[in-house]
């Protein structure tokens, strides 16, 4: 049953078969699209017609490869820059929130902490519509009373960033808090007794200790932003992010260029994951 106990070979074999089937199920969609990205065919699926790089590099009318498709490239750039801003903003606020809830005592702390965790259990669609409603009525209000048109308050690039930030900050807070719980508080007290101010103690002692968690949280926030669609779809203005662009293509005009984009995402993500995995292993 467990490592240290003997068990019948039938039990062991069927268990391993189950685990194997599970991981096949898990990897099947990723493997299928990765292979079909190189299929010399105008349809997204089988039959296999031979190997080609057309869906990456071709720029004929019939076949628009990934790198020749300006719309696609633009949406990738939009997603990358959105991800960067969301990660930066939520890392900053999430880290402040972690310090606040782990180190300070104040009235209504329980209520605020509950609110900070709320995005974990609020469906993304609801965050999207509630922020859209608020931004729009605030925007209308300002326009009626002051005659100003604030771009931030209409569906736009910046509203998407704010919307994604609203939940990404929660994940940052949790990741940084987990590391902060392992922090030896006496280090901070030592700095204080050596006449450092509280701010100096946090900046020179606590933050360096938190650095790995903060970096990790930045990456997580970036990935959350890069793949988000539930919240983004309501806030998007005239510059679609990559998931929004892919979504409308899947619904209205699937070509194997979708396989090529998916392949690229799978390769980049798995590459980063494996580098991270082996770097951690060699550190130990």
Partner 1 sequence: MKQNNNNSFNITFYLLIVPVLIWLVFMIVIPHAEMLISSFLVEDDEGEMIFSFANYIEFFTQKIYWLTFVKTAAYSIGVTLLAFIIAFPIAFYLSKVTSKKNAGFLMLLLLIPLWVGELVTVYGWIVLLGDNGVINHFLINIGIINEPITMLYTNFSMVVGLLYMSMLFMVIPVMSTLQSLDDSLIEAACDLGATKWDIFTKIIIPYSMPGITSGAIIVFMLVIGDYLAPNLLGGKNSLWFTEQIYNSFLQTFNWNEGAAFGFLLLMLSSGIIWLALKLSGQKLDKVGT
**From 66, 76, 86, 132, residue interacting with partner 1 (rule: CB under 8 A):** 132
What is the smallest separation between the CB atom of 220 and partner 1, expressed in angstroms?
9
Which of 73, 148, 187, 273 is in the footprint of partner 1 by CB under 8 A? 273
Residue ranges of the alpha helices (H) in the chain?
9-36, 54-57, 70-103, 109-117, 124-146, 157-180, 185-193, 198-201, 207-227, 232-235, 242-252, 257-283
Figure out which of the listed residues 74, 81, 130, 255 binds partner 1, where binding follows CB under 8 A. Answer: 130
The CB-of-187 to partner 1 minimum distance in angstroms stands at 16
Q: Which of 80, 142, 150, 266 is the binder for partner 1 (CB under 8 A)?
A: 266
Which parts of 22-41 interact with partner 1 (CB under 8 A)? Answer: 22-23, 25-30, 32-33, 36
Q: Which is nearer to partner 1, 10 or 60 (CB)?
A: 10
Whether the Cβ atoms of residue 207 and residue 34 lie closer than 8 Å to each other: no
Cα–Cα distance for residue pair 1/9, rounded to 1 Å:
11
The nearest distance, CB 80 to partner 1, in angstroms, is 14
Question: Which residues lie closer than 8 Å to 205 by C-beta, 6 or more apart?
Answer: 187, 188, 191, 196
DSSP string, 84-138: HHHHHHHHHHHHHHHHHHHH---TTHHHHHHHHHGGGTS-HHHHHHHHHHHHHHH
Least distance in angstroms from the C-beta of 256 to partner 1: 10
- Provide the mask over 62-101, with x wherever binding to partner 1 is found by CB under 8 A and - wherever it is not: ------------------------------xx--xx-xx-
* Residue 134 found at the interface with partner 1 (CB under 8 A): yes
Q: Report the residue from 13, 17, 19, 152 that binds partner 1 according to the rule CB under 8 A.
A: 19
Which x/- pattern over 148-177 shows residues binding partner 1 (rule: CB under 8 A)?
Answer: --------------x--xx--xx---x---
21-50 exposure pattern, b = at least 16 Cβ within 10 A, e = fewer: eeeeeeeeeeeebbebbbbebeebeeeeee
- Is the bond leading into 271 cis (omega within 30 degrees of zero)? no
CB under 8 Å to 134, separation ≥6 — which residues? none
By CB under 8 A, residue 42 contacts partner 1 = no
Q: Which is nearer to partner 1, 61 or 145 (CB)?
A: 145
Contacts with partner 1 by CB under 8 A: the residue count is 91
Name which of residues 202 to 261 contact partner 1 (CB under 8 A). Answer: 202, 223, 226-227, 229-230, 233-234, 243, 246-247, 250-251, 254, 258-259
Contacts of 256 (CB under 8 A, 6+ apart): 36, 37, 39, 41, 42, 43, 44, 55
**Least distance (Å) between residue 122 CB and partner 1:** 7
């Amino acid at each position: 049953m467990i490592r240290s106990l003997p068990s019948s070979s039938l039990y062991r074999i069927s268990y391993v078969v189950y685990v194997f089937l599970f991981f096949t199920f898990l990897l099947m969609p990723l493997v299928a699209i990765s292979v079909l990205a190189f299929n010399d065919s105008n349809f997204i699926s089988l039959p296999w017609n031979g190997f080609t790089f057309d869906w990456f590099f071709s720029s004929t009318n019939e076949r628009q490869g990934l790198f020749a498709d300006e719309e696609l490239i633009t949406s990738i750039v939009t997603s990358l820059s959105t991800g960067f801003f969301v990660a930066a903003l939520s890392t900053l606020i999430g880290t402040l929130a972690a310090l606040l809830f782990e180190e300070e005592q104040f009235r209504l702390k329980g209520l605020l902490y509950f609110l900070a965790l709320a995005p974990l259990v609020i469906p993304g669609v609801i965050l999207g519509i509630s922020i859209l409603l608020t931004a729009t009525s605030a925007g209308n209000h300002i326009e009626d009373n002051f005659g100003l048109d604030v771009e931030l308050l209409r569906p736009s690039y910046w509203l998407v960033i704010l919307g994604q930030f609203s939940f990404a900050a929660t994940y940052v807070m949790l990741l940084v808090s987990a590391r902060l719980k392992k922090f030896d508080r006496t280090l901070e007290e030592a700095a204080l007794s050596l006449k450092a101010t509280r701010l100096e103690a946090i900046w020179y002692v606590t933050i360096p200790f938190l650095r790995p968690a903060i970096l990790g949280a930045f990456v997580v926030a970036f990935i959350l932003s890069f793949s988000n669609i539930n919240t983004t779809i309501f806030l998007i203005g005239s510059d679609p992010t990559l998931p929004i662009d892919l979504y409308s293509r899947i619904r209205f005009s699937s070509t194997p260029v979708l396989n090529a984009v998916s392949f690229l995402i799978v390769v980049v993500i798995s590459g980063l994951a494996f580098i991270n995995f082996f770097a951690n292993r060699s550190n130990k």
